[in-house]
């Protein structure tokens, strides 16, 4: 348990950030999962429509250091490659 004043504040900050960050990560996961499902169902056009949304959320997450820049880049690359190869 936090003892010093600064560690108590750090704990409060971490909780606030966690509350803010979890929904963002969930959104990314859900979008990626949705695209994978659409591709498996051969609904390529619908999957393509979700790409800008995925790019936007990944870029924002990387910008705020929620995820690393290379992780965002890797996820964008893999999801776009998945869509292109399934055509």
Domain 5-85 has CATH 1.20.58.110: yes
Q: What is the pTM of this model?
A: 0.89
Q: What pLDDT sits at residue 29?
A: 98
Distant-in-sequence, close-in-space partners of 83: CB < 8 Å, separation ≥ 6 = 35, 39, 44, 47, 48, 51
Write the pLDDT tens digit of every residue in 39-75. 999 999 999 999 999 999 999 999 999 999 999 999 9
pLDDT for 2 beyond 90: no
Write the pLDDT tens digit of every residue in 10-39. 999 999 999 999 999 999 999 999 999 999
Q: What is the dihedral of CA 28, 20, 59, 46, to 10 degrees?
A: 30
Give CA–CA dist 11/3, Å, rounded. 11
> Is the separation of the CB atoms in 26 and 34 below 8 Å?
no
Distant-in-sequence, close-in-space partners of 71: CB < 8 Å, separation ≥ 6 = 62
* Domain extents in the chain: 5-85
């Amino acid at each position: 348990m936090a003892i010093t004043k600064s560690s108590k504040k750090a704990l409060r900050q971490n909780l606030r950030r966690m509350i803010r960050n979890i929904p963002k990560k969930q959104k990314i996961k859900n979008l990626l999962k949705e695209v994978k499902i659409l591709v498996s169902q051969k609904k390529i056009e619908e999957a393509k429509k979700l790409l800008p949304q995925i790019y936007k959320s990944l870029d924002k997450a990387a910008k705020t250091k929620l995820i690393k820049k290379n992780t965002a880049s890797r996820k964008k690359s893999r999801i776009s490659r998945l869509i292109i190869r399934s055509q």
